[in-house]
Amino acid sequence: MTSALQAGQRTLRMEAAAVMAVADRLDDRFNLAVDALATAGRVIVSGIGKSGMIAQKIAATLTSTGTPATYLHPVESLHGDLGLVSRDSVAIVLSKSGETDELFGLLAALARLGVPIIAITGGPTSALARASQVVLDGAVSEEACPHDLAPTTSTTVALALGDALAVALLERKGFRREDFAALHPGGRLGRRLLLRVADVMVPVEHRLGPDARMRDVVVVLAHARGIAAIVEGDVLVGVITAGDLTRLIERQGDHLDLTAAEVMTRTPRLMHADDLAAAAVGQMERQAIVAAPVLDASNHLVGVVHLHDLLRAGAA
């Protein structure tokens, strides 16, 4: 008797192999599908049963990546929901066999409206294929279900083809991380993609010149959470951190009369106000620093950003 582990492994391997086989069979019809979808005012995605569930996910993925799409139930479409379809729409219709009776009314209505149809089907000569302008080959040799009945491998392949269309479209349209964030403002991902260093940094309240004595720097370090900015005007010329102070004390007992210029790091790690906060977290973690000065577009000092403030703000 097959163990649960063996059944799980077999299912995953079968579905992975089916997706790879479809990738190898992909041809210029995929380009034609992307061309049609790129010019669509709205994409209509439809299917019945398990294919309908996959169609809903494809519609959601397209919408979230810059291509407005709506799932249309093929039966409900004949009872008023065809109002979702306009003459600048393009339809994606999913069916394993391509012979699903519930699709025929919708296919006829789309044809009357002159809406191009992209089929994802395992039936290359089916009624759906014949009604479509582009047919994407979603055929599988067998379902992962041991009885070759329950849609498993076939729905995985259809979903993967939908994802492939969505990714190709977002690349065609130049869809950026910022665009994705604008469509996902409420979640943690949206915060990560929208949050900038400028949103988290704190102003520099104490600015010292290169001639400042270390006795004054020590006071600033205590108030500025471990980092002192050394400036000439608004131009940053160096920083002194609590770590610099610790190393100085270990190396030289009498340090309070030294100048900032004698101690400061002249090429500190810098951030810019427009940097993504998530990128700043990665950079600070890689460089093992907990605070960094922030410059504006003119390279003038405008603030200091602290790693734990970035983490608290949800930048990672």
pLDDT score of 16 more than 90: yes
- Residues 316, 191: Cα–Cα separation, whole Å: 9
Banded model confidence at residue 2, pLDDT cuts 50, 70, 90: confident
Distance between CA atoms of residues 231 and 234, nearest Å: 6
Query: What is the mean predicted confidence (pLDDT) over 13-37?
Result: 95
* Coil/strand/helix, residue 43: strand
For residue 296, what is the domain's CATH number? 3.10.580.10
pLDDT, greater one: 171 or 118: 118
| Number of domains within the chain | 2
Q: Is 135 helix (H, G, I), strand (E, B) or coil?
A: strand
- Number of residues assigned to the chain: 316
The pLDDT value recorded for residue 32 is: 97
Note whether 170 and 203 are same-domain residues. Answer: no
At 304 the three-state DSSP class reads strand
88-92, 253-257, 263-267, range with the lowest pLDDT: 253-257
**Is 184 contained in some domain?**
no
In a domain, 230, yes or no: yes
Residues 295, 237 share a domain:
yes
Rounded CA separation 180/165 (Å):
17
What residue numbers bound the domain in which 43 lies? 4-175
234 and 127 in a common domain: no
What band does 187 get if pLDDT is binned at 50, 70 and 90? low
| Residue whose tokens read 């002159």 | 114
Any domain includes 111: yes
What's the rounded Cα separation, in Å, for the pair 227 and 220?
A: 8
**Same domain membership, residue 162 and residue 95:** yes
Q: Using an 8 Å Cβ cutoff, are 116 and 36 in contact?
A: yes
My answer on whether 93 and 210 are in the same domain is no
> In this structure, what CATH number is given to the domain that contains residue 94?
3.40.50.10490
Model's pTM, two decimal places? Answer: 0.63
Q: Return the minimum-mean-pLDDT range out of 4-8, 191-195, 236-240.
A: 191-195
Q: What pLDDT score was predicted for residue 245?
A: 86
Q: Return the half-sphere exposure (C-beta side, CA atoms, 13 A cut-off) of residue 207.
A: 15
Indicate whether 177 pLDDT > 80. Answer: no
Q: Is the pLDDT of residue 283 over 60?
A: yes
Q: Are residues 94 and 138 in the same domain?
A: yes
**Does some domain include residue 187?**
no
| Averaged pLDDT, 188-216 | 81
- Residue 117 contacts residue 94 (beta carbons within 8 Å): no
How sure is the predictor about 249, in pLDDT bands with cuts at 50, 70 and 90?
confident
Rounded distance, CA 214 to CA 294, Å? 23
255 confidence band (pLDDT: 50, 70, 90): confident
Helix/strand/coil (H/E/C) assignment for every residue in 237-303:
EEEEEHHHHHHHHHHCCCCCCCEHHHHCECCCCCEECCCEHHHHHHHHHHHCCCEEEEECCCCCEEE
Q: How confident is the model at residue 31 (pLDDT cuts 50, 70, 90)?
A: very high
**Is the domain of 34 the same as that of 159?**
yes
- Quick one: pLDDT at residue 181? 57
Instruction: Provide the pLDDT confidence category of residue 189 given band limits of 50, 70 and 90.
Output: low
Mean pLDDT of 226-246: 89
Model confidence at 188, pLDDT cuts 50, 70, 90, reads low
For the chain, percent of residues with pLDDT exceeding 70: 92
